[in-house]
Amino acid sequence: MKHAIAGVLLATVPIGVAAQETAFTTGLATVVNPGLFDCGPNSRVSAVGKVVSDDGTVWTVPAETHYGTVPFAADLFNECGGDQFESLAELDLESVPLLDAGGREEFTAYIFADNYFELYVNGRLIAGDPVPFTKFNSNVVRFAAERPVTLAIMMVDWEENLGLGSENNRGKAFHPGDGGLVAHFKDASGVTVAITDDSWRAQTFYTAPLNDRSCLVVDGPIRDSSGCSEAGVDDATGFSAAHWAVPPDWMMPSFDDSIWPSAATFSNDTVGVNNKKAFTNFEDLFDTPGADADFIWSSNLVLDNLVLLRKTFD
Ligand SMILES: [Ca+2]
Ligand SMILES: [Ca+2]
Ligand SMILES: [Ca+2]
Ligand SMILES: [Ca+2]
């Protein structure tokens, strides 16, 4: 309904959301943290930067996180000095801390995030990913909450070229990497209560690199970069990024996510996890027959780098 008459548009798009403007930045950010965490050789540097948009607003890239102030999620597989279970059978679930999400019913979340996640349950930030960039890791989180349970996950596809959503890879200095989240949530008796699928809502708040700003189509809550190039380049001079302010209450149960698009789903092959033990050691969790969790993201797995995801289950 791109060209809907005003009355129809007002009926479907709350004014505050419709008015959320796209801010553009050009070029690399200034480094403000040279690395949140060092996983050693053969891993990428998880630096953080700041970049100023044309309107004077300062943006943190790839995202403003709570790394270091939120408890780390327990490991399923972490080659950066953590546990490296060969299978779920090696996990002693009772040893995983039970986190308080304001209720008494116990749940367990199993998460593989490319690259970084923060998990909110019923509005409370309860756990974060211990490894912001690489190597690829996976996690388990136990929490106690009251139904209905609103899951809200901040996902960051981390970047090496701060502000330009890319990394030195595949022979190109500015190769846009991809993201992806797969997760399985169970109750205390082991029954599936949620899996990542297209019933989640997803919105992007940082899209880069853009070799041409006009390739991005913004229409109310739709932030469509499908017309933008995903090709790696050696010279990104003049490339841009698009940013949107994160609503402060985005993780609250009361937040109306009906305006956000449904999450897009992606296969294991598309995300490229078949050679990653953090995923393959736990295929029985992430590819469970009858409860096969999809990889989810906003509409562009490659160019959308800060993606907020939500799902409520009863
Ligand atoms: Ca990670
Ligand atoms: Ca990535
Ligand atoms: Ca799956
Ligand atoms: Ca990306």
Classify strands 98-100 and 138-145 as parallel, antiparallel or unpaired.
Answer: parallel
Cβ neighbours for 160, distance < 8 A, ≥ 6 positions apart: 44, 45, 47, 166, 167, 168
Alpha carbon of 157 to ligand 2 centroid (Å):
5
19: its two tokens: 């008015």
Tens digit of each residue's pLDDT (9 = 90 or more) over 84-104: 999 999 999 999 999 999 999
Helix (H, G, I), strand (E, B) or coil at 285: helix
Q: Give the ligand whose atoms come closest to the C-alpha of residue 295.
A: 3
pLDDT higher than threshold 60 for residue 18: no
Alpha carbon of 83 to ligand 1 centroid (Å):
14
Number of residues assigned to the chain: 314
pLDDT higher than threshold 50 for residue 16: no
Tens digit of each residue's pLDDT (9 = 90 or more) over 183-207: 999 999 999 999 999 999 999 999 9
Better-predicted residue by pLDDT, 137 or 19: 137
Predicted TM-score of the model (pTM): 0.94
Alpha carbon of 126 to ligand 4 centroid (Å):
25
Alpha carbon of 233 to ligand 3 centroid (Å):
32
Alpha carbon of 161 to ligand 4 centroid (Å):
11
Position 19 scores a pLDDT of 53
Alpha carbon of 250 to ligand 1 centroid (Å):
22
Tens digit of each residue's pLDDT (9 = 90 or more) over 207-257: 999 999 999 999 999 999 999 999 999 999 999 999 999 999 999 999 999
